[in-house]
Structure 1
Amino acid sequence: MELKPTPPRDARSRYLNKKQTHVTEKTIYNYDTALTRFIGFLDSEGTADMRDVTSDTIARFEEWRLESVKPITARNDMRTIRNFIQFCESIQAVPVGLHELIQITNVKQEDEICDDVLLREEAVQILDQLDKYQYASLRHVTLLLLWKCGMRIGGLRALDVGDFDEGRPAVQIRHRPETGTPLKRKQNSERDVLIRPDTADVVADFIRNRRPDVTDDHDREPLIATDYGRASRTTITKHVYLSTSPCFSNGGTCPFNEDPSDCRATQWGHASKCPGSVSPHALRRGYVTAARNAGQPKDVTGDRVNMSGSILDKHYDKGTHDEKAERRKGYLRDI
């Protein structure tokens, strides 16, 4: 089979266009980021045609990535590259079978599992501070729903005002890709999440008194709204980083010997630089761990947060050995 001349950027565009039919915008972004790095590497080597890409080229790219990133990041890049090369085989841009020569970066188990987690005690302290000083604010509702529901950012962003059922009370998470709010697992991520009445009271007060009267670009009424419409993932993330900085919830005392009045990490957009702040996903891990420690069954927790039992065990349940032993205690029988 004769190979066709194909510039790497053209191959990338065709690959992403094909993927757009069945994956989320965030996944497309991740693919594009990895491929942009790969094409930049090809440019640096003077490779202007996919026909000149060999397994050795790809192995050198992996070596180059490992000079600046952790193995787990390189592994994710290599998975994307292998899938991309397989697509290139289908359009006769590279030899058939090239993708089979690509070896995915090995990762130690301890490096594969992220331990970034917000403990229940920390979450309670943060929510108490928000309840006292920023009641029913966008930040309060954001942290409250992320913690109480253990949901992903995508699920939180997808909520409209009409998805809040004050009577039950519950929030209804729906996949609406045609209007800008896809869910990670599409229809499989759709679910209703029951919430406590006190949580519902905060959400209701936010809607009635503090939520901006705005619609998004699709004339929907976003629940998590700013003056400009539906809150972005970046905005939500910034609220979480600021709220989880230790000096926010412990009376202004910095455990890292910084002066909060002069610390750049206390400013909007810079809180991620604080070594004590955590990302939104740490709340999801924290909720799962706290729910399991409280005796909530694994399948109930998994259904609530839209997660399989194996993923829950491997990546999200951060209970200590003592905590896990206590969970089993009530099931012990004298045999």
Structure 2
Amino acid sequence: MSDFPSGKNDGRGNFSKSTYTRYRDVVNDFLQTQDVSDLMEVEPRDINRWNQLLQRRDYARTTRDGKLETLEVFFKWAESEWRAPRGDKQLSETIIRKRDDLDVSGDEKSRAGDDNHRISTKRAEKIAGHLAKHQYASRQMIEFLLIYHVGIRKSGLLSINCDDVKPRKGIIQIRNRPEETGVRLKRGNNGERDVNIASGVMSVVTDYIEENRTQPKDGSDALLTSWAGRIDDSTLYRDITGLTKCGECTDDDGNSLVNQNASDCPESIGCHDLRRVAITRMRDEGVSWDTISGRVNATVQMLKDHYDSPTHSQAADRRKEEILNAL
């Protein structure tokens, strides 16, 4: 693959060094993760698996679209050179369909945010209500509630120990202990903080710890566990996509999607997108940018640029009181 694309001097053609590096890294990631040694043997299911891997990594939709676009360019070149299947099995067509499913607009690409891959507050509340009725104080309910209530990153959520939960104080401590937990907060020690937890949510968390938490064989004090120990980010991702899938999608055999393939549902979202829903919800409820910044551990400018994504109606509701008072 070293001659893609051909170049006059350094093998990069007219590409800048950064563009060449991006293409190389994306293509190598696909080849290595899908164990590809011969492009002529690549099948659409390999593309599907790689796309699912990007979802499990919790990339924003715009990021996933960019990586798919890069791979699309590569396979169009490979097909034109008769180095990849052509005709009905053109892999570039499979990638185009995956990008169509993402439906990333040109305006979205010009922004760092990811406005449409989200669920509404109403749907989030419906999911929380369903969990309270059918899976009360389950691990999945705790995962969903803490992301939706706190706007916490997945690294922060996975780092929590039972001892970090302080019901009397009404807080959960977020601490950076990578040697102990195997999880590093995104901002390291700068990500440490105490977050206030509403009494109703705290009651669910304590009920989970006392009644439903799986005692892991490694004796870990982790809040979120399986029989083996602290869960990892892939398990958390599957849990969240499983909770947010529409319930109507099926696999190729007509079977309902389960947690393992819930990301195939176009309506499912991962932890990153649920965090964005939580931040938008806090803004809609009148919480100040400064307060949200401390709670979710992100700068105000970062929140404004990347996370807050109100609908037109929500934005109008935010402006309503100020405008009416002014006029």
- Give the alignment's TM-score, normalised by structure 2: 0.67
Q: Mapping of 1:217-228 within 5 angstroms?
A: 220-228=220-228
For 1:298-322, what per-residue CA distance to the aligned partner results, in whole angstroms no more than 9, with x for missing partners? 1111211111112211221111233
Partner of 1:104: none
Whether the 8 Å CA contact 1:222–1:229 is kept in 2: the answer is yes
Shift of 1:132: 0.8
1:197 maps to amino acid: S
Shift of 1:54: 6.4
CA distance in 2, matches of 1:75, 1:126: 31
- CA gap of 1:63–1:268, structure 2 versus 1, over 3 A, is closer
Shift of 1:204: 0.6
CA distance in 2, matches of 1:320, 1:71: 18
Partner of 2:230: 230
Shift of 1:118: 2.2
Q: Mapping of 1:102-117 within 5 angstroms?
A: 110-111=108-109, 112-114=112-114, 115-117=116-118
Whether the 8 Å CA contact 2:214–2:227 is kept in 1: the answer is yes
- What is the DSSP-based 3-state SS (H/G/I as helix, E as strand, rest coil) of the residue aligned with 2:129? helix
2:190 maps to amino acid: N
Q: Is 2:311 the partner of 1:313?
A: no
Of the candidates 200, 205, 213, which is equivalent to residue 198 of structure 1? Answer: 200
CA distance in 2, matches of 1:134, 1:156: 19
2:279 maps to amino acid: V
CA distance in 1, matches of 2:209, 2:22: 49
- CA gap of 1:54–1:262, structure 2 versus 1, over 3 A, is closer
- CA gap of 1:289–1:74, structure 2 versus 1, over 3 A, is closer
Partner of 1:240: 240
Shift of 1:330: 3.0
CA distance in 2, matches of 1:238, 1:163: 24
CA distance in 1, matches of 2:177, 2:184: 5
Partner of 1:6: none
Whether the 8 Å CA contact 1:118–1:285 is kept in 2: the answer is no
Partner of 1:143: 144
Partner of 1:171: 172
For 1:171-197, what per-residue CA distance to the aligned partner results, in whole angstroms no more than 9, with x for missing partners? 111111222121001111111111111
Partner of 1:131: 132
CA distance in 2, matches of 1:322, 1:165: 38
Percent identity between the aligned chains?
Answer: 29
Comparing 292-301 and 150-159, the one that deviates more: 292-301
Q: Is 2:275 the partner of 1:284?
A: yes
- Give the alignment's TM-score, normalised by structure 1: 0.65
CA distance in 2, matches of 1:230, 1:43: 44
For 1:230-280, what per-residue CA distance to the aligned partner results, in whole angstroms no more than 9, with x for missing partners? 011011111111111122xxxxxx2x6x59x94342x23111111121111
Whether the 8 Å CA contact 1:152–1:281 is kept in 2: the answer is yes
Shift of 1:156: 0.5
Q: Mapping of 1:1-335 within 5 angstroms?
A: 41-42=1-2, 58=17, 59-60=19-20, 62=22, 72=63, 110-111=108-109, 112-114=112-114, 115-179=116-180, 180-214=182-216, 220-247=220-247, 254=248, 262-265=254-257, 267-332=258-323, 333-334=325-326
CA distance in 1, matches of 2:232, 2:222: 11
Whether the 8 Å CA contact 1:117–1:286 is kept in 2: the answer is yes
For 1:55-92, what per-residue CA distance to the aligned partner results, in whole angstroms no more than 9, with x for missing partners? 868455656759x9998469789xxxxxxxxxxxxxxx
CA distance in 2, matches of 1:286, 1:160: 25
- What is the DSSP-based 3-state SS (H/G/I as helix, E as strand, rest coil) of the residue aligned with 2:195? strand
CA distance in 1, matches of 2:222, 2:63: 35
- CA gap of 1:309–1:142, structure 2 versus 1, over 3 A, is same
Which structure 1 segments of 5+ residues have no match? 1-40, 47-51, 78-106, 248-253
Whether the 8 Å CA contact 1:215–1:230 is kept in 2: the answer is no
- CA gap of 1:165–1:43, structure 2 versus 1, over 3 A, is farther
Whether the 8 Å CA contact 2:62–2:108 is kept in 1: the answer is no
2:255 maps to amino acid: C
Which structure 2 segments of 5+ residues have no match? 28-46, 52-60, 69-104
